[in-house]
Structures are given as C-alpha cells and as structure tokens.
Amino acid sequence: MVLPGYGHEYAENRQDLLIMPLMDLAVRTRYPKDGDPTKGPIKLLSIDPATGWVADNTTWKSGITKIVPAAQFKDDLGHSSWLQNEDIAFIYRAYATHNNPLTITSPGPCGPGTQPLDPGANVPIAVDASKFPNWKKLEFYDGAKKLGTVTAAPAHFTATNLTPGYHVFSVLGTDAQGSLRTSDPALVVVQSPQSSSDHAVRSQATTSTFARRFASESPRGRPTSIPALMILALVIIVLGIVLIVPEPSGDDCPGVDRGAVGAVRGHGVL
C-alpha cells in the first residue's frame, strides 16, 4: 500500500477507500466457492470485460472524471482504467477527480482502530459545500446506489439500515449552470451479525478483523468467514485478479497528486 515517491502513502491518499471494496468484489466474483489453496493453485473465475465500466484518465482535472459502461467507451483505451462494476466506477470517480469542492465531514476517516458498525446501522452524512456555494442539488450515493437528494441547506442526509460489507459514500453536486462536481469518498464498514460468543469480545474488534472476512453473495452481501489459512493466498491471488489494462501516461496520473490513483493501476492494482 506504500510506494515512496509515487504519492500513494496510506495516510495521504487513503487508497483503502478504493482498494478495499475493489478487492472485496474481486475476491467474491473471481474466487471459486470451493477453492482450496492447500490443494494447489486456484483457477480464478473469468470476467467479461464488456460487463465492466471504464474511466477516462484524461478527464480527472476537468472537474469530474468521466466514467461510462465499458461497451460505451469510445475513447483511447491507453488512457483509461477498467473498473469491474458500476459501484467501483462511482467510487473511482470520487477518488480520482482532482480538487473536489465538496467535502464529506461525517462520517470521519475509517482506518485501523475504527470500530465496525452493526447491521442495520444508520449513518448521518454531512457535507461541507462552502467551496461550491451555488449548488442547487446534492445527490448522496453509496457506491452507485442513490440514497437521496437535498435541494437546500443543511447539506446532510442519513443512510439507513446498512447491510454487512463495505459502504463508500460520495456526493454529486449540481450548480445553477448545470455543472457537476463530486466529493471525495468516505468509507464505513458494517460487520456480520455477531454470535453470542463473538458478542462478548466485540468491543475489541477493529476494521482489521475484516481482513479475515469476505462477502460471498451480492455486492451488498453478508461477509462470510473463511479459514485464516487462506488469507495469505488471497492477498497474493488478488494481485492477479484484475484484468490487465494499458499503462497510463505520466500526464494522466502525476506521482504526487490525488489523480495519482491512475498510476496505481500501472502497479497492478487497477
């Protein structure tokens, strides 16, 4: 997660906002349910590239990064990032776009030591829109799922009844001229329902617990425990999970800017 000199340091650019849901989705869709790394190499399930989405990495400084279904992308694939589904595309758009004027102030950063939420939790989402003063509409998203819209202050909305898994919020603003701008993303993690024995030690749990759990159902499916013995294998496997895409040019993703997310793809992450 740390590549000195590329601007990808965890504390600065918060790759987890993009990488954790990306890895979670990739493992659930490409790792066979009967896979057992103790019996030899795992044959990953294939994905049709046409079912994904594509980000145009020439647009990250345009005010909002362009994302479209892969089948509709007509621009230069050499300056793009392939993204596995619409949820990841919406997260990528919020993460990769440069100089976002909208800031999610709550929930705060989610990282090591942050307590996971219980299933069914409600999460207030508050936005600082002071750098986008002429906004007429703010749309709140969880991945690509639209949660709601506000058309007047205060700029906040509550996400309700969250299911187990990763939830990455973003806000899409529209001003009087029809211009679209996005916020940076914000991540929360909702844990699996606790058994009676788990409940006794829940207060000691942190988000690192989720390194041992992955959802095996839908993108909003319930995280399922897997043998700890598989964890190292999964970390290695995920490096080969995502389809190979062309290397971006230096102009698309300079080393130390927020747009450097494009360069992460060049290191085998996206």
Domains and CATH numbers, the chain: 10-266 (2.60.40.10)
Residues 143, 219 contacting (CB under 8 angstroms): yes
Structure-model confidence comparison of residues 263 and 73, the more confident one: 73
Instruction: Please write the tens of the pLDDT for every residue from 192-214.
Output: 987 444 544 544 444 444 334 43
Residue 263, number of CB atoms within 10 A of its CB: 24
Q: Evaluate the CA torsion angle 61, 67, 73, 78 in order and state its sign.
A: positive
What's the whole-model pTM score?
Answer: 0.71
Q: Determine whether 215 is exposed, middle or buried from the number of CB atoms within 10 Å of its CB (0-12, 13-18, 19+).
A: buried
> For position 17, what pLDDT does the model report?
87
Residue with tokens 């590239």: 49
